[in-house]
Amino acid sequence: MLIILGGLPATGKTSLARGFARWAGAVHVRVDTIEQAIVRSGALAPPLGPVGYAVAHALAEEHLRQGHPVIAESVNPLAVTRQAWREVAVRAGTHFLEVETICSDPAEHRRRVEQRTVDVPGLDLPDWAAVQARAYEPWDRDHLVIDTAGQVVEECVAELYGAYTDALQGPGPGTAPLP
């Protein structure tokens, strides 16, 4: 199964993806990591456009074809980027589960933005103004929303894992059956 994970910066995507990957034995594909590797290589300079997503799609599809569950993490701000991830799952012949992380407490979200540290060398983290100004289209399909405000990572991972195991049993909101 492909878990398509998106949400604004500092809503808990990376913590959730890492925790889920450990719990479920899934492959974690992170667009930020891929894009920074490309920048560090000297091949391209930011903004990279669709390059990081294209590499992430190829990696995710390869792992899915090998039978590994994949959690693909990116801001995923546009309907077109979400559709591209769904197409990865279809090409790989597997289910997908769409998940959006939010932090419904603006003060907590701002604190996270202002206090987080860089975990990918060279990655420039956005400030609060940039997060608020970011283009981010509402999701246009049923999907799982995980509100990380006031929850510890383990609670969020358990919620995602429950939805994942349910989705493996049959399609539900934000999921698709095998093609």
| The pLDDT value given to residue 167 | 86
CA angle at 92 for the pair 90 and 95, rounded to the nearest 5° = 60
In order along its 179 residues, the chain shows pLDDT tens digits of: 999 999 999 999 999 999 999 999 999 999 999 999 999 898 887 778 889 999 999 999 999 999 999 999 999 999 999 999 999 999 999 999 999 999 999 999 999 999 998 888 778 889 999 999 999 999 988 899 999 999 999 999 999 999 999 888 865 545 554 43
Residue 162's region, left for phi above 0, alpha for psi from -120 to 50, else beta, is alpha
| The pLDDT value given to residue 175 | 56
| The pLDDT value given to residue 161 | 95
| The pLDDT value given to residue 136 | 94
Would you state the torsion angle of the CA atoms of residues 92, 94, 95, 98, taken in this order, to the nearest 10 degrees? -20
pTM of the model: 0.90
Domain that holds residue 130: 2-176
How many structural domains compose the chain?
A: 1
Would you state the torsion angle of the CA atoms of residues 77, 93, 147, 14, taken in this order, to the nearest 10 degrees? -70
| The pLDDT value given to residue 63 | 97
Q: For the domain that residue 160 is a member of, what is the CATH number?
A: 3.40.50.300
Q: If DSSP codes are grouped into helix, strand and coil, which group holds residue 155?
A: helix
